Structure 1
Amino acid sequence: MLNRASTGLVVVDVQGKLAHLVDDSDVLIANCGKLVQGAQVLGLPIIRLEQNPEKLGATVDELNDLLSDVNPIPKFTFNACYEPKFVETVQAEDVETWLVCGIEAHICVYQTAMGLLDLGYKVQVVGDCVSSRTALNKDLAIRRLTDAGAQITGLEMSLYELVKDCRAPEFKPILALIR
């Protein structure tokens, strides 16, 4: 079970034109926005990544506005764990489990999640908050990550698991996001 005291969120490369070319892009961007807002309500640490931002562009406006206080970490490797700034940022947080969302599921999300597993973290990929240009590539990534020890969760599942109790002050803001 997720525990908000030891869980963080990594937002992988939801940027530029590519974010609008992935399978079911409108749903992906909306779900990532809800996940980010839920993480903010819950006080989770959030790390934002951008792949080669000079070429691919910045984080899409819908998420950039929500993440204005989270400076993006630029990267050029598909596995963010090869970028020292990302590893330093991850290790500076008191987190044992990372929720991962973003694009593309079979490339940067997959390789970064694998890198986090290799560093000894627990990883939960938020299945309805990841995508690729094709559904097949997303499915391949999910299967490979599951085989490697990552868990797959969903937007609602993860947020309610973190809230734990409908009496919690965070419940109503989370409920408003999900409705």
Structure 2
Amino acid sequence: MAVIRSPNSAFAAVTCRDFRKADVRNLIFVLLDAAAWDTGSAALILKCGADDVQPAPIHTDEFVARLKALTRRGAYNDHLFIKMPGCVYDAETGNAVSDRGKQHLTETEARLLTALALDPSKIFSKADLMDHMYGGEDEPEQKIIDVLVCKLRNKLLEMNDGLDVVRTVWGRGYQFEPKGFPPVFRQRVRAVR
């Protein structure tokens, strides 16, 4: 994500255009100084590739809410490709594709994979993932994250030659491992009565 604070609309428009010409696919949020703000300049900046333009200063809560809304809408997913050990996920089609075929991910599985893959160094708590995937709107119980991780793993295991790409960090959350790792299966022990 790129946040550009600009004193004038021409600089912001050129910067957005240059980012898009360089194939930068991140979200671009422009804060334009109030003295340069008018609807014509905002329209130009949006036409040059910005995802949102707002006058500065902006209230912190509104700024965060706008960024979350842009993320929920998936503006950055249009041309996103996530490379894994045996396949590539294409956000435009919703398919993980390998030389053996393709596997379609549901919208929620895709949002989960995207959230994890965009920052592989981060360990995402269930609350982080819920915020990214649902943004406080019509949120199911947090247990849904465990269910979605399980379904996503099952689909990706066969596409990645048996390697897992979603690591469970016990007590903390989940993390994306782009190179993959052999999964560890725990056996359930049943109590004898």
Q: From the two aligned structures, give the one with the greater helix fraction.
A: 1
Same fold by TM-score, threshold 0.5 exceeded?
no
TM-score by length of 1: 0.28
Q: Which has the larger radius of gyration?
A: 2
